[in-house]
A and B are shown apart, each in its own frame.
Chain A
Amino acid sequence: MLAVNLSELLDGPLHGVEEALDLVAGFDDALVHGLARLGEDRAAALSALAGAFAGSPLGVRAGEAAEKIAAGSVTDEHLSVLAGGRAALFGAVHDALLGRLDGALGRARAPWEASPSAASSGADNLLAGCRSWLHELAITGWRGVDHDLVSAADQTIEALLAVPGLRRTAVLLDGLAAELRASSPIATMERLPARRWADLWTRALLLSQPGGPAAAVPEPAATVSGRLLLLGVDVHEHGTAVQIQVHAVLEPADGGPARLVRASVAAPKVDTIVGPALWRLLQWHPVLLGALAEHRSLDITDQPILDSGDLVWHDDRAEAGEPADPFATARVLLGGALAPAVPPLDRHPVRISEPVLVEGYTAAADGGEVTFDLGGRPLAVDVERLPSCGPLTPELVAASTACIGLVRWDGGRWALQPLAVQATVKRKPVTAHNGDWALGPTDPKVMKAEAKAGDSVAVLRERAGRLLRR
């Protein structure tokens, strides 16, 4: 990304985004206080949200849902319609933002083509359990949520986790429930993550529609073979789940154009497994982890790929290749690589995570905030978003001269999430990537701390072996 790209990204209004987000904020406020006691203002906010769809296929149903809910009749169907409306607004915001970003970067993106078929998970009773809990939450409002209401989801979540096809729903609900539990008593919370919790609630409700496309397991559209050149790894984590998402450029074996793809591994965990120990939960994919740790390319054969550009990783269909510097990949191949389409349901700004290379900037740190000055324009750097399982620190980012990162958007602003940096520390060049410790930490200080703390994964697995299987 050059100064000219950044200017294009930051300059000029994004039409309709503010207005859409204001409508969403009205709905989110209704969820804070609960749909059981809306009051005039919040009832008006629901009608305003519904009004945005006047003239569209959703319009009549949304209007009716807002009216009935204001009158005190909150049914499953009404909630689903409004959740669909809220998601559609974010879909439009997502498209405006991603269009701006692609335009600024000059990035070509594949058009969306619906997969022919996808298998439904078929666990309708479990999904009904999810909907009923989400229904209770909406009626009660976040401010009224107590321990009993949070715990009411425990059995449903446990059952969801046991069904591989419902993992997305399970992980999402588990994350939300943990936040509600940790925030109790919510009634007296000073500030409340209203946007976030409404996002999670909306998403969960859409994922738990019976037989709907959202509840289906995505089917790989094709398989791909070729050389995979890694750019970096993004890490996602809550108390009971971790996911790594490897961003890479695929050079197809059949000679087609280079394309951006991702490979993900997600594993259940517990809250006490943090830091470099997280990698041990992903150890069944040694070829992928080895490529991250050793900066190697991978030769893949017949890996299934989803319409979203996500490889469904099979470690046994990959072989370690030559050493490959992600910065070289980013410099040579990233600019011309074809970006994948975004599946309709995933159109939410939170999912925007476009890999870019930024260099030629001056980094400045000010009270914990880091900014890259790129040709006189400031690019905010999200240094909170550095995973504890890797070597990147805010200090290293502030000392950097080149950075591979993901462009993200949240709370009305663009920011860069670093995945790797080239920096100068004590006059020596240093390079650090999020995935450097994928096979174990390489920093002697961190190795010592890990050795002292013991192997938390092994300790808990031993306890599980002794207590769960007797």
Chain B
Amino acid sequence: MNAETSAWERRSAVRVVPPVRPRKLAKVPFVELADGRLQGVVSSGSDIERVYVSSFTAGTHAYSCSTNNNRPCGALPSGSSPCKHLHLLAAEAVLQYGVDRVARYLRVDVGDGASTGADLVDSMNGQVERAPAATVFSRFLRHLNYLEIPDTTTPIPEMHWFPALGAGR
């Protein structure tokens, strides 16, 4: 182990989670790399009350898209290629995390020069496979619930372990 690594390991306030880059949230309000999948929630273009839950599985690159009520996405009959919701998910994931991090998580070999969600989708060759929409949708609701929790003016000394570090500079 080199000296730099061992000094880093003996620090209290270091960055562990890579920074997330800002992006427009209107079309794809929720993206995450979790449970072995790139998964997220995509707004319907036509119906403001409806959202789609879309995902790519790491390793197999199987993909899935359905409404939050678990109805299959109409644009995704079996044997076809990824629908526009999946394309949007991949594009926004690349904006949020960077293409390298998403490719590493999904275990996709994107090759040099890949930079967009389309490059990522082109490098995968998976099949349609229904994934449970309910789990992802409830994780999205949990995510939204953070914005419903009131703020506090009682200090949280524990936050000294979490300094704001200039992201994206």
Contacts and interface: CB of A to CB of B under 8 A. Distances in A.
B10 A25 contact: yes
Contact of A245 (B144, B147, B155): B155
A364 B88 CA distance: 44
A310 interface: yes
B151 interface: yes
Nearest to A461: B147
B155 A272 contact: no
A199 B12 contact: yes
Contacts of A306: 155
A167 B156 contact: yes
A195 B158 contact: no
Contacts of A466: 48-49
Given A193-B16, A196-B16, A464-B144, A168 B156 contact: yes
A266 B162 contact: no
Interface stretch (A55-63, A331-339, A379-387): A379-387
A463 interface: yes
A236 interface: yes
Contact of B16 (A179, A207, A267, A385): A179
Taking residues whose C-beta sits less than 8 angstroms from the other chain, chain A's interface range is: 35 or more
A329 interface: no
A42 B103 CA distance: 38
B46 interface: no
Interface string A153-168: 0100010011010011
A275 interface: yes
A215 to B, nearest CB: 13
Contact of B168 (A193, A275, A310): A275
A349 B22 contact: no
Given A218-B154, A387-B166, A460-B29, A191 B5 contact: yes
B104 to A, nearest CB: 12
Interface string A216-243: 0110000000000000000111111111
Contacts, number: 233
Given A25-B10, A266-B156, A467-B141, A388 B166 contact: yes
B77 interface: no
Contacts of B159: 171, 236, 238, 241, 243, 245, 266
A239 B155 contact: no
A172 B26 contact: no
Given A238-B162, A272-B20, A466-B48, A195 B11 contact: yes
A207 B163 CA distance: 20
7 contacts: A243-B155, A264-B153, A270-B147, A350-B12, A393-B169, A453-B23, A460-B29
Interface of A: 21, 25, 147, 154, 158, 161-162, 164, 167-168, 171-172, 175, 178-179, 181-183, 190-196, 199-200, 203, 207, 217-218, 235-243, 245, 262-272, 274-275, 277, 281-282, 284-285, 306, 308, 310-314, 346, 348-351, 353, 383-389, 393-394, 408, 410-412, 417, 453-454, 456-457, 459-461, 463-464, 466-468
Given A158-B145, A161-B146, 16 more contacts: A164-B152, A171-B159, A175-B158, A193-B11, A195-B9, A196-B161, A264-B156, A266-B153, A268-B146, A275-B168, A281-B147, A281-B151, A284-B151, A453-B23, A456-B22, A461-B147
